[in-house]
Amino acid sequence: MIRPVVLVLGPSREAISGVSTHLNLLFGCALARQFSLAHFQVGSEGRAETRLRRAARLAASPFLLASEILRRGAQVVHLNTSLDARAYWRDLAYLVVARLCGARVVYQVHGGALPREFFRSRLLTCLLRAALRWPDVVVVLARIELHAYQEFVPGQTVVMLPHGIDGAPYAARAPRLPTPRAPLELIYLGRLAPRKGLPETLEALRLARARGVSARLVIAGSGPEEWSLRQQARTLQLGEQVSFVGPAYGDDKAKLLAKADVMLLPSYSEGLPYSLLEAMAAGVVPLATPVGAMPDVVLDGVHGTLVPPANPCAIADALVAFDGDRAGLVRMSAACRSRVAGAYSIGRVAADFADLYSGLCARRTPKAAL
């Protein structure tokens, strides 16, 4: 049986990003046995190139995409993007090429601005609305995005397909049972970048310590904010409470999560972070902000605590509450494991995309490969 060809656009599969994680999960799950998935790399992640070579690649890339679609006879182009300036303008060219080549297009948005808030210009907003009508389906991660896109592009097919993970490496480990006298073990996993709420996290740790909370924070990641965060930790005299351990992958990540009580994710904006799902699968209770898909996953008071962005006092209050109710922390840990296993499995993602691809393939007679 000939499997339909789906060309999946996204960054290098070796890059450190949530979209790369998404691609690797798609290629590694049951979906890849039902469809012939092929990767077409876009973006600068995972490339070492000069500005001149980057400009040449950007100019040639749409033509290379057209060649790949026609050569492989791709029936579906799955474009992974986000609604930020760089990704939108770059991926607009790929969207146009895919439609001109006769492929069905899945336009999956991995966070960024909501469409009505993206441009200040009325003309550019009209262009965005027109462009969002070109894909056959727009896929979003969060309920707030679903409503925003449905309102912005009436009549377009918009579906919410949240991420999923293979929870086995995390669920296999015994849950940590925090005791009243032990320090709270906190962890942050991800890029050390602006708008992740890390300066507020360190300030909150100082405030919580002043209120009698004993806690240790492991920061696992790298990025442009690392130096300033290290400096802030020294200034706040948190040297013994904060450890910078660099990026963590695979079994090393699972081991770090197995030692943690609380995952800190006080971001200003997000899509649906894989680190949130991985932590919850390991029974680590999230302390997060209600942005992107996080309130879809985390019910406040059941699976963790949601606090406003840019609010170190609220983070500190949550840490004090966790410290004073270790039994409640254990209950939330069990609820986290159940939540991810029930609704955010990679099996569910594979089935959802298989249904989506099958429906699109049924609407098109494939072209013969060149």
User: Are residues 70 and 217 located together in one domain of the fold?
Assistant: no
Beta bridge partners of 263: 187, 286
User: Are residues 212 and 298 located together in one domain of the fold?
Assistant: yes
Residue 367 has pLDDT above 60, yes or no: no
Per-residue model confidence (pLDDT) at position 369:
37
User: Are residues 128 and 190 located together in one domain of the fold?
Assistant: no
Per-residue model confidence (pLDDT) at position 46:
63
Residue 47 has pLDDT above 90, yes or no: no
What's the whole-number mean pLDDT along residues 230-253? Answer: 94
Per-residue model confidence (pLDDT) at position 320:
97
Give the tens place of pLDDT for each residue, 305-326.
999 999 999 999 999 999 999 9
Residue 217 has pLDDT above 60, yes or no: yes
What's the whole-number mean pLDDT along residues 252-265? Answer: 95
Give the tens place of pLDDT for each residue, 281-291.
999 999 999 99
Q: Among residues of the chain, what percentage have pLDDT more than 70?
A: 95
User: Are residues 127 and 204 located together in one domain of the fold?
Assistant: no
**Would you place residue 366 in the very low, low, confident or very high pLDDT band (cuts 50, 70, 90)?**
very low
Answer yes or no: is 83 within a domain.
yes
Structure tokens at 12: 């290098």
Mean pLDDT of the chain: 92
Answer yes or no: is 291 within a domain.
yes
Residue 45 has pLDDT above 80, yes or no: no
Residue 39 has pLDDT above 50, yes or no: yes
For residue 334, what are the domain limits? 168-343
Answer yes or no: is 367 within a domain.
no
Residue 174 has pLDDT above 80, yes or no: no
Which residues make Cβ contacts (< 8 Å) with residue 188, sequence separation at least 6?
Answer: 196, 198, 201, 217, 218, 219, 220, 221, 263, 264, 265
User: Are residues 37 and 160 located together in one domain of the fold?
Assistant: yes
Per-residue model confidence (pLDDT) at position 370:
32
Per-residue model confidence (pLDDT) at position 341:
93
Give the tens place of pLDDT for each residue, 144-161.
999 999 999 999 999 999
What sign has the CA pseudo-torsion 279, 325, 331, 307?
negative
**Would you place residue 176 in the very low, low, confident or very high pLDDT band (cuts 50, 70, 90)?**
low
**Would you place residue 15 in the very low, low, confident or very high pLDDT band (cuts 50, 70, 90)?**
confident
Answer yes or no: is 366 within a domain.
no
CATH number of domain containing 286: 3.40.50.2000
User: Are residues 39 and 145 located together in one domain of the fold?
Assistant: yes
Q: Domains in the chain: how many in total?
A: 2
Give the lowest-confidence range in 53-62, 119-128, 235-244, 284-293. Answer: 53-62
User: Are residues 312 and 324 located together in one domain of the fold?
Assistant: yes
Give the tens place of pLDDT for each residue, 344-360.
999 999 999 999 999 99
